[in-house]
Each structure stands twice: as structure tokens, then as C-alpha cells.
């Protein structure tokens, strides 16, 4: 009862004449702000996803992702050299595939000479020090665009896992350092890990797309890899419901027990709460994927002059560090590496 005493006369309020805690003090100069700064984004935090395609010495723009191209293998090698020179630790390869590469049994997925495996070998050869990450899912090679085999309209789990293991071994054989199962089938991490162990690839790491949501933010990516026209229906029976959060923790626990080295949350910005919960609960290497739709949103606003691009990109990437992530897959990687070094 400030300022009031039941029995006695009315008292004066006991409010201090000035605020004792002035949080603005630590913001007053650039030096103090630097001292107080909790999170930093560096080039070491970046993984750069690139799109590769057949052909020679060509790049074709992805219309819904301004500034992003699909590159032939030789151009992907140039990109890897550039990334390495900028200090980016890892590059992630996604194949563009036309209808001719797609079949019902997805055999091209574990072909040692598919465009993705050829790119892995070419980059390993030319830039041995950059880490090469892959994507494991059947969607680039599947006639219906799904990450798993479809039987009678259903995405079947266990037969798909067997195919994913073959795909993983072909990528490891080609020289991949980080395998990225993005399919969301149950049991795939254990199956891939045990195949790697028994087949001389103990040191190949797995960055599991663990909490991968059935998101509409993947639209531009599906254009980039040629999946938009192939995909029939949606991925809701295997990717996570955007309404769920506890389930992400169960998935992370499961994937860690099955032998994943790193955990991914995807998409990124709309799922920072999940990043934070995962990091707080497990304290393991945690990554977020700032996906194609997030890239498209920021670029569209920047191209219209509605947002200051470098600033919002840096702010968006810093948000992942604040949410506890150890790194970010982002199409902005080379641009931001340049900005950070400049």
C-alpha cells in the first residue's frame, strides 16, 4: 500500500527520484554495446545450399529466388572455390532433375554417377577442405515428387528406408562429409548409421533434418529442383504439423539415439521457438535451415526497396544464433560472408 497507511495520516509515496537501473547505460556507446553483446554471427556459422544440374559451363536463374542459379558441375566447383575462399565451412548440394530422371523405383537416387554424386566428387577433388553436405530423400528421382515410395497412394516407410540407405552409401562413397536425411521416414537414421559403420564410413557425419515441418515456405525450392510440377498431393503424412512443438523434442531424442551427430530445425525464422527448445533440452549441435521461401520473402521486399537488404539479412541470421543455433543453412551464405569480411 504505497502512499497509504490504514491507521495514520496519508504518507508520501516512496518512489526514488531517478531510476536506479538504467539499462540504457550499457547501450550508450559502440564500445559498451560491443562489450555487452551476447551473440555474434560469423562466417563459421554458414552452410551454403546450391542447386546443380547436368550440362556444361552454364547457370540458369531460379525465378522465385532472385540471385540464385542452378549450376552445372563445373560451375558448382567454381562456387565451392569461392565459398572456401570466403571462409564458408560447408556447401550443401541439391540436384535439379527433369522428368526424364524420375521413375517409380527412383533408381537414379543411388546411381554413383547421378548429378549430385558427380558434383561431390568434383568438389572433393578441387576443394578438399570444404565440407560437403548432401540431401537424402527420394523426391528428386521420384515420378510423383514424394520423399518416399508411393504404394496405393500411401508413402511407405520401411521400403523407403532401404532405398535411403543405398543413397547414403553412394554419397559417402563419392566423398560426402555430412549426410542430410531430409525425408522424415521413421528409423532412417539408425539404418543409415549402421550401414555407414559396417561399410568403412565411421567418420561420415549425419545432420538429420529432424524437426522438418510440412511447410509452405518450400515453394521456391521445389521450383528450383524441378519438383513443383512432379509433386502430387502434399507431404503431411511424413513432415511435421506446424502446430506441434513437443513432437520435435521426441524426434530429436530419437534421432540422437539412432546416431545423428547434428540436428536440424526447418524452416528457420517461423520456428525459432523450436530451435530454442531443442538447444535448451539437449545441448547438441543444432542447425536451422533458412529455407527458400524465407529467402524469397526477404529478397522480394529488398528488391522493392521496402527493406534494407544487408541489414535485414544479418538481423535474420543473428536471430538463429540468439535462438541457440550453432549454424544456419542459408542461400545468403556467400553474400553475408562478403559483408562480414568487408
- Where do contacts with ligand PBG occur on this chain (CB under 6 A)? 135, 137, 139, 147, 182, 218, 221-222, 235, 291-292
12 is catalytic: no
Q: How far is the CB of 44 from ligand PBG (least distance, A)?
A: 21
Q: How far is the CB of 294 from ligand PBG (least distance, A)?
A: 8
CB neighbours of 313 closer than 8 A, spacing ≥ 6?
298, 332, 335, 336, 339
Kindly tell me which of 81 and 222 has the beta carbon lying closer to ligand PBG.
222
- Rg for the chain (alpha carbons), in Å? 24
What are the backbone dihedrals phi and psi of residue 174, each rounded to the nearest 5 degrees, phi first? -70, -20
> Smallest Cα–Cα separation from 141: which of 122, 165, 164, 162?
164
Kindly tell me which of 50 and 122 has the beta carbon lying closer to ligand PBG.
50
* Angle in degrees, 0-180, between the axes of helices 188-198 and 246-258, rounded to the nearest 10: 20
Strands 90-95 and 131-133: parallel
Which single residue brings its beta carbon nearest to ligand PBG? 221
Q: How far is the CB of 209 from ligand PBG (least distance, A)?
A: 7
Report the residue count for the chain. Answer: 342
Q: How far is the CB of 289 from ligand PBG (least distance, A)?
A: 6
Kindly tell me which of 201 and 209 has the beta carbon lying closer to ligand PBG.
209
Kindly tell me which of 139 and 177 has the beta carbon lying closer to ligand PBG.
139
Give the active site residue among 71, 124, 235, 266.
266
> Smallest Cα–Cα separation from 238: which of 123, 158, 168?
158
Give the active site residue among 212, 235, 279, 321.
212
166 is catalytic: no
Q: Do the beta carbons of residue 137 and residue 145 sit within 8 Å?
A: no
Kindly tell me which of 204 and 291 has the beta carbon lying closer to ligand PBG.
291
Give first-to-last CA distance, the chain, whole Å. 57
Kindly tell me which of 94 and 201 has the beta carbon lying closer to ligand PBG.
94
CB neighbours of 28 closer than 8 A, spacing ≥ 6?
none
CB neighbours of 270 closer than 8 A, spacing ≥ 6?
215, 217, 242
CB neighbours of 14 closer than 8 A, spacing ≥ 6?
2, 3
Q: How far is the CB of 218 from ligand PBG (least distance, A)?
A: 4
Q: How far is the CB of 215 from ligand PBG (least distance, A)?
A: 8
205: which strand partners?
A: 178
Q: Determine the Cα angle at 286 with ends 216 and 336, to 5°.
A: 70
Residues tagged active-site? 212, 266
Amino acid at each position: 500500500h504505497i502512499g497509504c497507511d490504514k491507521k495514520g495520516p496519508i504518507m508520501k509515496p516512496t518512489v526514488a527520484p531517478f531510476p536506479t537501473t538504467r539499462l540504457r547505460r550499457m547501450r550508450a556507446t559502440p564500445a559498451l554495446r560491443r562489450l555487452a553483446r551476447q551473440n555474434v554471427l560469423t562466417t563459421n556459422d554458414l552452410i551454403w545450399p546450391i542447386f546443380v544440374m547436368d550440362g556444361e559451363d552454364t547457370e540458369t536463374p531460379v525465378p522465385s529466388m532472385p540471385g540464385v542459379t542452378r549450376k552445372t558441375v563445373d560451375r558448382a566447383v567454381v562456387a565451392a572455390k569461392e565459398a572456401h575462399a570466403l571462409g564458408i565451412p560447408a556447401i550443401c548440394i541439391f540436384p535439379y532433375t527433369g522428368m526424364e530422371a524420375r521413375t517409380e523405383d527412383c533408381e537414379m537416387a543411388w546411381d554413383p554417377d547421378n548429378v549430385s554424386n558427380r558434383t561431390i566428387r568434383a568438389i572433393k577433388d578441387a576443394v578438399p577442405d570444404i565440407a560437403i553436405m548432401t540431401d537424402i530423400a527420394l523426391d528428386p528421382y521420384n515420378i510423383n515428387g514424394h520423399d518416399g515410395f508411393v504404394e496405393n497412394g500411401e508413402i511407405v516407410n520401411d521400403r523407403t528406408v532401404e532405398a535411403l540407405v543405398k543413397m547414403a552409401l553412394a554419397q559417402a562413397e563419392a566423398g560426402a562429409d555430412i549426410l542430410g536425411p531430409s525425408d522424415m521416414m521413421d528409423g532412417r537414421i539408425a539404418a543409415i548409421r549402421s550401414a555407414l559403420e559396417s561399410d568403412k564410413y565411421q567418420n561420415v557425419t549425419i545432420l538429420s533434418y529432424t524437426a522438418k515441418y510440412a511447410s509452405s515456405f518450400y515453394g521456391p525450392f521445389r521450383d528450383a529442383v524441378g519438383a513443383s510440377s512432379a509433386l502430387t498431393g502434399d507431404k503431411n503424412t511424413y513432415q511435421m504439423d506446424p502446430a506441434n512443438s513437443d513432437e520435435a523434442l521426441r524426434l530429436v531424442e530419437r534421432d540422437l539415439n539412432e546416431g545423428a551427430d547434428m540436428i536440424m530445425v526447418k524452416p528457420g525464422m517461423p520456428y525459432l521457438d523450436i530451435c530454442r527448445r531443442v538447444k535448451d533440452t539437449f545441448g547438441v549441435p543444432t542447425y536451422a535451415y533458412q529455407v527458400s521461401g524465407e529467402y524469397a520473402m526477404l529478397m522480394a521486399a529488398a528488391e522493392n526497396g521496402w527493406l534494407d537488404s544487408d541489414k535485414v539479412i544479418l538481423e535474420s541470421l543473428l536471430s538463429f544464433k540468439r535462438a541457440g543455433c550453432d549454424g544456419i543453412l542459408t542461400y545468403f551464405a556467400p553474400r553475408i560472408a562478403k559483408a562480414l569480411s568487408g
